[in-house]
Amino acid sequence: MRKITVIGTGYVGLVSGTCFAEVGNRVICCDVDRNKIERLRRGEIPIYEPGLEELVAKNMQQERLYFTSEVGEAIEASDIIYIAVGTPMSDTGEADMRYVMSAAKKIGEHLNNRKIIVNKSTVPVGTAELVREVVQANKKYPWITFDVVSNPEFLREGSAISDCMNMDRAVIGSDNAEAAKVIAELHAPFNTRIFTTDLESAEMIKYAANTFLATKISFINAIANVCERVGANVIDVAEGMGLDSRIGNKFLQAGIGYGGSCFPKDTYALAHIADKAGYDFELLKSVIKTNQRQRFIIMDKLRESVGGLAGKQVAVLGLAFKPNTDDMRYAPSLSIIPELLKQGASVRAFDPIAVESARRELPHEVQYFKSVEQAVAGSDVCVILTEWKDVLDMDLDLIRQIMKHPIVIDGRNCFDLQTMQRSGFEYHSIGRASVNAAGRDRHSVNF
């Protein structure tokens, strides 16, 4: 059993800390936000992640998981200190390091014995050395030593518990073999492959992995846009590509672009790192531009199908950036819904989880409904932005009957073209021909 303190109770800190406790360690999760800590002590989870609430309750009951706002005391009580604070994107595109540096300063002030300090936050290359310098500068007892390790996270929102308990790999960057061995042993219960490297490479791996996946998404979306113009079906194209073992089928689902807490800020951050290093990363900048443009394809399809939006009732299904999360960060809905309102439409929105988060981010004119059916009733057109199970399983015959006009703009390619044709919908998706479009589109089919 190891004594671990995790600084930061956001997505990464809370999930990682809980999973470390689940495999038998004593874990203190701490945060300067006293209100959040009080909620966690009451068993109230501030984020939505399937299975997390139950796992937190279990480990609190078994006295392996604790929450405190006394960060200094938590640091002194443990031998391994994880920094898992946010690194949001700054105005320049680079990672905002204020919270990481603040945590490092606090660790230095409360360094009471030898500790391993682990960077879990997504940070620029060179951060481990910065943390080392800040801790060293703030030590009260000069003779106490410490090590700094980089251990980036690769959790996916919506499946974070499974990703942590059965992780693909644990990347451990260190310049001290003994410290690396301790962190490797900490990950042994997670049925994972340990990959040990130097500090700088570990920090780069996180950015390189996320930006590569973002590149795959932007690439298939660009291919989808070409497919529409030449009459190809991007789903078939992606499947054929994915059969090549060198490519694989993951992250080849065409849609309206990536969002969330990682890809947007990590792509910008790596572009900034490259610029700072004197390299013009044109490919990555094109990935970012492609993603920014992709979400507004929805608006083009709306104009083609219904003309002007003034006075139209638009049902928007899905607000979070992906299913199984309430995360609204960089969600397409944050760009599309304000544009709908600006053009005079009224918006009837549905999301099974993210409504409270959405209310804080979206204009007050948005109307929220508790079911797909309530949202689409009487609407002129339905726009799908998130592929929630409620959306995938909706009764198409009923939906057609209760809509004013059976028009669906699907930004996530949720439905088969033949199914939508048989159900009587005018259906526009991404990278595929439209169905029942009355010849308005360059490429439309009727089966």
Give this prediction's pTM.
Answer: 0.92
Q: What is the pLDDT of residues 331-355, one digit of tens each?
A: 999 999 999 999 999 999 999 999 9
Q: Are 199 and 126 in contact (CB under 8 A)?
A: no
Residue 284: what pLDDT?
97
| Nearest one of 392, 431, 426 to 409, comparing CA atoms | 426
Domains, the chain, ranges and CATH? 3-197 (3.40.50.720), 206-288 (1.10.1040.10), 295-445 (3.40.50.720)
Q: What is the pLDDT of residues 297-333, one digit of tens each?
A: 999 999 999 989 999 999 999 999 999 999 999 999 9
Average pLDDT, the chain: 95
Q: What is the pLDDT of residues 370-429, one digit of tens each?
A: 999 999 999 999 999 999 999 999 999 999 999 999 999 999 999 999 999 999 999 999
Q: Determine the distance from the C-alpha atom of residue 130 to the mean position of all C-alpha atoms in its chain, rounded to a whole number.
A: 27
SS3 assignment, position 32: coil
- How big is the chain, counted in residues? 447
Above 70 in pLDDT, residue 21? yes
19 part of the active site: no
Q: What is the pLDDT of residues 254-281, one digit of tens each?
A: 999 999 989 999 999 999 999 999 999 9
Residue 392: what pLDDT?
98
Tell me the pLDDT band of 368, cut-offs 50, 70 and 90.
very high
Tell me the pLDDT band of 238, cut-offs 50, 70 and 90.
very high
Q: Are 432 and 235 in contact (CB under 8 A)?
A: yes
Helices 127-137 and 98-109 cross at an angle (nearest 10°) of 40
How is residue 94 written in tokens? 């680079």
Distance CA 220, CA 253 (A): 7
Residue 93: what pLDDT?
85
How is residue 218 written in tokens? 């932007």
422: Cβ contacts below 8 Å, ≥ 6 apart: 447
Q: Determine the distance from the C-alpha atom of residue 254 to the mean position of all C-alpha atoms in its chain, rounded to a whole number.
A: 17
How is residue 57 written in tokens? 């309750």
Distance CA 135, CA 397 (A): 63
321, amino acid identity: F
Q: What are phi and psi of 187, to 5 degrees?
A: -95, -5
Distance CA 234, CA 369 (A): 32
- Run of H or E including 115: strand 115-119
| Nearest one of 279, 317, 311, 277 to 298, comparing CA atoms | 317
| DSSP code, position 261 | S
How is residue 255 written in tokens? 């849609």
How is residue 360 written in tokens? 């804080």
Q: Are 17 and 26 in contact (CB under 8 A)?
A: no
Burial class (CB in 10 A: 0-12, 13-18, 19+), 101: middle
Catalytic residue of the set 29, 30, 164, 262: 262
SS3 assignment, position 196: strand
Residue 91: what pLDDT?
86
Q: Can you tell me which residue has the tokens 């540096």?
A: 101
**Which residues on neighbouring strands pair with residue 363, listed in sequence order?**
none
**Which residues on neighbouring strands pair with residue 196, listed in sequence order?**
172
Mean pLDDT of 29-37: 96
More reliable by pLDDT, 445 or 25: 25
- Residue 134 to residues 100, 106, 299, 418, Cα–Cα distance (Å): 10, 9, 48, 61
Q: Are 174 and 196 in contact (CB under 8 A)?
A: yes
Distance CA 388, CA 316 (A): 12
